[in-house]
Amino acid sequence: MPSPMDDRPLVQIASYNTALQGLHGVPQDLVDWLSPTLEVSNFLAREPRAPDIVAVGFQELLPLHLGLAGLSRTVTESRSALILSQIEAHAPNKESYSLVARIVNVGVALLVYAKDDGIARHVRNVETSWTGCGPLYMGNKGAVGVRFRVAPDPDSPGEVYTFVCAHLTAHESKVLYRVADYHYIVSSLLFPPLPGSASKAKTTMYTTSHLFFLGDLNFRMSLPDSHPYAGKANRADLNAALSTEEGRSDLREFDQLLDQRKKGTCFTALREGDFWRFKCSYKCIMGEVDRYKCVALLPIFVYLPGLSMRYTPDQSAVTNVLYTSIPSYTFSDHKPIVSLLLLPAPQPRPIIPLLQLPPGFHPRPDPLATLKRYAGRTLDRIVGFCWWFLVVIGAGSAAFGVGNFCLGSARGRGGAGGLRPHMRAEPCVICLSLCGGLDV
What DSSP string runs through 117-134?
Answer: TTGGGGEEEEEEEEEE-S
Question: 367, 385, 416 — which closes off a domain?
Answer: 367
Q: How many domains does the chain contain in total?
A: 2
Looking at the structure, tell me whether residues 116 and 38 fall in a common domain: yes
**Residues ≥6 apart with Cβ < 8 Å to 171:** 218, 439
User: Does residue 230 fall inside a structural domain?
Assistant: no
pLDDT category at 420 given cuts 50, 70, 90 is: very low
pLDDT confidence of residue 134: 95
Q: Which residue has the higher pLDDT, 31 or 118?
A: 118
User: Does residue 242 fall inside a structural domain?
Assistant: no
For the residues 272-287, what does the mean pLDDT come to? 74
Given a contact cutoff of 8 angstroms between Cβ atoms, the answer to whether 150 and 122 are in contact is yes
For the residues 282-307, what does the mean pLDDT come to? 60
Average pLDDT, the chain: 81
**Side-chain half-sphere CA neighbours of 8 within 13 A:** 18
Strand order through the sheet with 159-167:
123-132, 142-150, 159-167, 210-216, 302-303
Q: Which residue has the higher pLDDT, 190 or 173?
A: 190
Looking at the structure, tell me whether residues 430 and 283 fall in a common domain: no
For the residues 40-67, what does the mean pLDDT come to? 81
Looking at the structure, tell me whether residues 301 and 428 fall in a common domain: no
User: Does residue 232 fall inside a structural domain?
Assistant: no
Question: 323, 349, 367 — which closes off a domain?
Answer: 367
User: Does residue 64 fall inside a structural domain?
Assistant: yes
pLDDT confidence of residue 260: 93
Helix or strand or coil: residue 341?
A: strand
User: Does residue 233 fall inside a structural domain?
Assistant: no
pLDDT confidence of residue 377: 97
CA distances from 208 to 26, 112, 190, 192, 352 (A): 33, 16, 12, 12, 8
DSSP state of 415: G
Looking at the structure, tell me whether residues 265 and 158 fall in a common domain: yes
pLDDT confidence of residue 419: 35
Q: Which of 243-252, 304-313, 414-423 is the least confident region? A: 414-423
Q: Which residue has the higher pLDDT, 405 or 265?
A: 265
Looking at the structure, tell me whether residues 329 and 380 fall in a common domain: no
Structural domain harbouring 192:
4-220+255-367
**Residues ≥6 apart with Cβ < 8 Å to 304:** 210, 211, 212, 213, 269, 270, 271, 316, 318, 355
Question: 341, 367, 393 — which closes off a domain?
Answer: 367
Provide the β-strand partners of residue 57. 15, 110
CA distances from 49 to 13, 36, 44, 57 (A): 15, 8, 8, 22
Looking at the structure, tell me whether residues 150 and 294 fall in a common domain: yes
- Whole-model pTM: value is 0.86
Helix or strand or coil: residue 251?
A: helix
Give one DSSP letter per residue of 129-185, joined into a string. EEEE-SGGG-TTSEEEEEEEEE-SSTTS--EEEEEEEEE---STT-HHHHHHHHHHH
Looking at the structure, tell me whether residues 293 and 416 fall in a common domain: no
- AA letter at 37: T
Looking at the structure, tell me whether residues 363 and 379 fall in a common domain: no
